[in-house]
Amino acid sequence: MEKRAYIETYGCQMNVNDTEVIFAILARAGYARTEVMEEAQLILANTCSIRDNAEQRIWGRLEVFDQQRKARPGTLVGIVGCMAERLKDKLLDTHKVDLVVGPDAYRSLPRLLEAVTPDRPQMDVLLSREETYADITPVRTDRNGISAFISIMRGCNNVCSYCVVPYTRGAERSRDAHSIVREACDVYARGYKEVTLLGQNVDSYLWKSQDESVNFARLLEMVAAIAPDLRVRFATSHPKDISDEVIYTMAAHPNICRHIHLPVQSGSTRLLEKMRRKYSREWYLERVTKIRSVMPDCGLTTDVIAGFCSETPEDHADTLSLMEEVGFDWAFMFAYSDRPGTLANRTMVDDVPAPEKNRRLNEIIALQNRKSLERYRAQIGKTVEVLVEGPSKRDPAMLCGRASNNMMCVFPAAGRKAGSYAQVTVVDCTSATLICE
């Protein structure tokens, strides 16, 4: 009987892509993908360690997985991804997992599965300076068959003081540019209309061979040239690295979407230095000015941390004023979460009380909600091209899809289908959705 594998994915888009790579590797070991946990012989959680609440959710899910293992003897349970890398032996000590596999060790899964016994759990968390999984064709897990994630690099060299990524995903390495283009060609040939190029810091992408050197701007050109109706997105940019060349390349190709996720984290230059972000408030604002001078219609989203170590009321006010000045379309906003093993954890004091962190976070959220509504209202009356994703969740008679600037649009179905393009006119909005005709 064919064995089945079930994977729950937590965290960012890169984890979604990793899950697709894992399914491809498991297929070689005789496991087919299932979305029903109760019929799986292998249950995995692909984990994220960026914030503590993400890890706490997974500890809770392990209880559920363990119930499945007890109810169906022979069922294997594993933790893969960043949490596996960070906690290692602690996970095995719970006696609730059979496998612990880090982000660079997914190729070892077939071997580890063969070696697992009830009294011999298996672990491989070795980091690599070479692994990019470039030769593996991911098993696409998206439901609409329209948008595909493509990893262009792994790891990170920035070592921001609050971040666990360099410790859980290792050093930065860029994937062969031609393997990326081949994967994008493959998904386009299979009917996909959009690809998102993924990396912790896509702007530092640099692949070299004996005859060729490809930076991120050149890679964008190569993927955009596949077909004019293949949309190209990317995430995530780093303010210290996003170049004029990338900005002008976006502007030169209509199918490169006009949206940049540009995490600022704080509006205070003093705190940015403590965070080891390697740019100042002034540098960030200059990059925003450049983007909007070249692409006035470009959508901008960001990440913001409230209550980082030693943050003063003045630092917080700097963050609010930067958000007011930039006017982001949307933001991921969080209270600072001290992560074991990071530079901040080792050398700084998490000294902003939790109630004050939450108060500041609520101010940030309230400001962003207001700015989002302003940004969305400014779209009323405009006509935009939307890639239809499928029925609206709230009203099946309506379709939804994103404009080039990443704003979600809803509009009457009118016989259109997912995967097609539609010209729609914005007639109303909420702070998160454009309502169109």
Averaged pLDDT, 86-106: 88
pLDDT tops 90 at residue 410: yes
Closest CA to 379 of 361, 345, 406, 358: 406
Please tell me the pTM assigned to this model.
0.94
Averaged pLDDT, 256-269: 98
Residue % of the chain over a pLDDT of 70 = 100
Q: Which residues contact 337 (CB under 8 A, 6 or more apart)?
A: 50, 51, 52, 53
pLDDT of residue 143: 79
Tell me the CA distances in angstroms from 328 to 251, 269, 297, 434, one per residue in order: 19, 19, 12, 16
Averaged pLDDT, 5-20: 93
**Cα separation of 305 and 316, whole Å?**
10
CATH number of the 142-257 domain? 3.30.750.210
Report the SS3 class of residue 123. strand
pLDDT of residue 122: 95
Name which of 51-65, 76-90, 120-134 the model is least confident about.
51-65
pLDDT tops 90 at residue 56: no
pLDDT tops 70 at residue 185: yes
Specify whether the CB–CB gap between 201 and 165 falls below 8 A. no
pLDDT of residue 43: 98
Domain 3-124 annotated CATH 3.40.50.2300: yes
Tell how strand 147-151 and strand 421-429 pair up: unpaired
pLDDT of residue 52: 75
Same fold, 142-257 and 383-436: no
Fold that domain 290-377 belongs to in CATH = Transcription Regulator spoIIAA (3.30.750)
DSSP class of residue 290 equals H
pLDDT of residue 371: 98
Label residue 71 by pLDDT band (50, 70, 90). very high
Helix axes 354-377, 313-326, angle to 10 degrees: 10
**Cα separation of 236 and 231, whole Å?**
17
pLDDT of residue 109: 97
Averaged pLDDT, 401-426: 95
**Cα separation of 214 and 249, whole Å?**
14
Label residue 283 by pLDDT band (50, 70, 90). very high
pLDDT of residue 162: 96
pLDDT of residue 91: 85
**Cα separation of 162 and 95, whole Å?**
30
pLDDT tops 80 at residue 257: yes
Averaged pLDDT, 321-337: 97
Name which of 81-95, 168-182, 219-233 the model is least confident about.
81-95
Averaged pLDDT, 239-260: 98
Specify whether the CB–CB gap between 145 and 387 falls below 8 A. no
Q: Which residues contact 82 (CB under 8 A, 6 or more apart)?
A: 11, 15, 47, 48, 49, 50, 103, 164, 165, 168, 169
Label residue 55 by pLDDT band (50, 70, 90). confident
- All structural domains of the chain with their residue ranges: 3-124, 142-257, 290-377, 383-436
pLDDT tops 80 at residue 53: no
pLDDT tops 90 at residue 331: yes
Label residue 338 by pLDDT band (50, 70, 90). very high
pLDDT of residue 414: 84
pLDDT tops 90 at residue 434: yes
* pLDDT tens-digit readout, 385-394: 999 999 998 8
Tell me how crowded residue 317 is: count the other CB atoms within 10 A of its CB: 14
Domain 383-436 annotated CATH 2.40.50: yes
Label residue 1 by pLDDT band (50, 70, 90). low
Tell me if the bond preceding 236 is cis, omega within 30° of 0.
yes
pLDDT tops 70 at residue 334: yes
pLDDT of residue 219: 98
Burial class (CB in 10 A: 0-12, 13-18, 19+), 393: exposed
Tell me how crowded residue 297 is: count the other CB atoms within 10 A of its CB: 13
